[in-house]
Amino acid sequence: MPERRASARPKRKRDAAATREAILEAATRRLATQGYERAGVREVAADAGVTAALVNRYFGSKEGLFAEVIARALDMGHLLRDGRANLADQLARVVVYGGEDAPDGVLTPLLLLLHSAAEPRAIELFRRDLDRTQLRLLAEHIGGDDAAVRAAMVLAQLTGFAILHHVLRPEAFADARGEKLVALLSKSLAACIG
Amino acid sequence: MPERRASARPKRKRDAAATREAILEAATRRLATQGYERAGVREVAADAGVTAALVNRYFGSKEGLFAEVIARALDMGHLLRDGRANLADQLARVVVYGGEDAPDGVLTPLLLLLHSAAEPRAIELFRRDLDRTQLRLLAEHIGGDDAAVRAAMVLAQLTGFAILHHVLRPEAFADARGEKLVALLSKSLAACIG
DNA sequence: TTTCGAAGTCAACGGCCGTTTACTTGGAAC
DNA sequence: GTTCCAAGTAAACGGCCGTTGACTTCGAAA
């Protein structure tokens, strides 16, 4: 019989900060792929190489843990790269080609959102943070009249595309080439940006 | 102390077909507002005025119940009205003004989808049924080259708008007038339809 | 009115999950 | 090497949920 999971891991030394980080990373991945309900505290703890009790010790509760996950994801995962030229095309490429496995990727906040749509507490956390982070940045990049509404429309399109492309995966998307999707998406994004 | 819930209800006579229908209605409402995980069999049964055991008797299991809910919703809730003129504008009005409380409304399939995004079994049911109902109808109305991909893009936009407008509700959408949203959405829908 | 099958209920089982309490262990400081 | 607090674990509790099997009740047919 081979070694157990725990001994296969690098067996991190006792380091509260590093352990905290490992838990947050594991929680982000679980939340982005499974959503609030299906992401269990025991699973997250096992991914991080610790016990469920320790998770609650550090973050108070499951809700506290995922609140910090969402806040961090919204702070880190800036949807926009540095240059603001070709905004529609940039955004389109992010959601078409962005890997879903990178826990700090720009796609993560979208997956977090749509996998937690059924959880009122998670939605509350998103609403509170979104307006003053991603949407504000987007609105500044867009500018002009109705910048706030247009920014929300852009976010809506990105989220909708993400749910179809990364979760539902209808036949039409599976068959289509990536560049075809980029072209269509950036075209309708441009219609919103103006 | 007032009467109990059961006596406040019309106390439907023993009618298997009617009871079945009542359970399906209640399940549809619960699934559309709470998603697969949070919609409990006991709650659904109570809404329909029966016991959880009877629900499992009629539908075999929770999964069987919601499979039928999804299939029915996709069959009934045709996104498109009869006339095919101004398709973008029609669709935009549906998701902007469509009430979320009507269990047979055209908006229901979208809410079912985005509230069940975290549940793999529900996603599987959607994928299987979507391609041969809503997406096929949409593609026929759109026509031309890449009709299938364009139809999926339209569904993505509608779903994304629904999650923002009916679930997340950012400030920008709360402040905006309905007609402004219809204008923006139909414009970017038109960019996809071509 | 009696009968009998279908409609519906009741209560319990087993499992999973978030949380808590008491305990053990590691490692740095002296 | 001893001490001692923080890091981490083990185990259990209580609650909720889906499911099941045995029981009860309605209502139509005879």
In tens, the pLDDT along A72-117 reads 988 876 666 656 678 899 899 989 997 655 555 678 888 999 898 9
Interface-testing mutation among B164, B166, B169, B180, with chain A (most A C-beta atoms within 10 A):
B164
B80 vs A19: which has the higher pLDDT: A19
pLDDT at residue number A98: 79
CB contact under 8 A, B149 and A113: no
pLDDT at residue number B1: 36
CB contact under 8 A, A38 and B190: no
B109 vs A153: which has the higher pLDDT: A153
CB contact under 8 A, A152 and B172: yes
Using CB atoms, pick whichever of B117, B146, B171 lies closest to residue A167. B117
What is the mean pLDDT of the segment spanning A115-129?
Answer: 87
The answer to whether residue A7 scores a pLDDT higher than 50 is: no
Q: Which residues of A touch B145 (CB under 8 A)?
A: none
- Calculate what percentage of chain A has a pLDDT beyond 90: 60
Residue B158 in tokens: 């509608």
> Are A135 and A151 contacting, i.e. CB atoms less than 8 angstroms apart?
yes
Would you tell me which residues 117-136 of chain A have a C-beta closer than 8 angstroms to some C-beta of chain B?
Answer: 117-119, 123, 126-127, 130-131, 135
Would you tell me which residues 26-45 of chain A have a C-beta closer than 8 angstroms to some C-beta of chain B?
Answer: 34-38
Using CB atoms, pick whichever of B126, B150, B170 lies closest to residue A168. B126
pLDDT at residue number B84: 63
CA distance B146 to B142: 9
pLDDT at residue number B79: 64
pLDDT at residue number B134: 84
B132 vs A67: which has the higher pLDDT: A67
The bases of strand D with some atom under 7 A from any protein CB are: 6-11, 16-22, 26-27
Between chain A and chain B, the number of residue pairs with CB atoms below 8 A apart is 177
- The DSSP element (H or E) to which B93 belongs, if any, is helix B87-97
B105 vs A56: which has the higher pLDDT: A56
What is the distance in angstroms between the Cα of A89 and the nearest Cα belonging to chain B?
14
CB of B12 within 7 Å of some strand C atom: yes
What is the mean pLDDT of the segment spanning A12-30?
Answer: 95
> Are A129 and A45 contacting, i.e. CB atoms less than 8 angstroms apart?
no
CA distance B28 to B77: 12
Residue nearest to nucleotide C16 (CA to C1'): A40
Q: How high is the mean pLDDT of chain A? A: 88
Task: Kindly write down the DSSP assignment for every residue of chain A, as one continuous string.
Answer: ----HHHHS----S-HHHHHHHHHHHHHHHHHHHHHHH--HHHHHHHHTS-HHHHHHHHSSHHHHHHHHHHHHHHH--SS-S--TTHHHHHHHHHHH--SS-TTSTTHHHHHHHHSTT-HHHHHHHHHHHTTTHHHHHHHHH-STTHHHHHHHHHHHHHHHHIIIIII--HHHHHS-HHHHHHHHHHHHHHHH-
Residue A171 in tokens: 């036949």
CB contact under 8 A, B157 and A152: no
pLDDT under 70: residue ranges of chain B = 1-10, 77-84, 99-105
CB contact under 8 A, B192 and A187: yes
Provide, in whole angstroms, the distance separating residue B14's CA from nucleotide C1's C1': 22
Domains observed in chain B:
5-73 (1.10.10.60), 78-193 (1.10.357)
Residues 6+ apart with CB under 8 A from A185: A92, A95, A96, A157, A161, B153
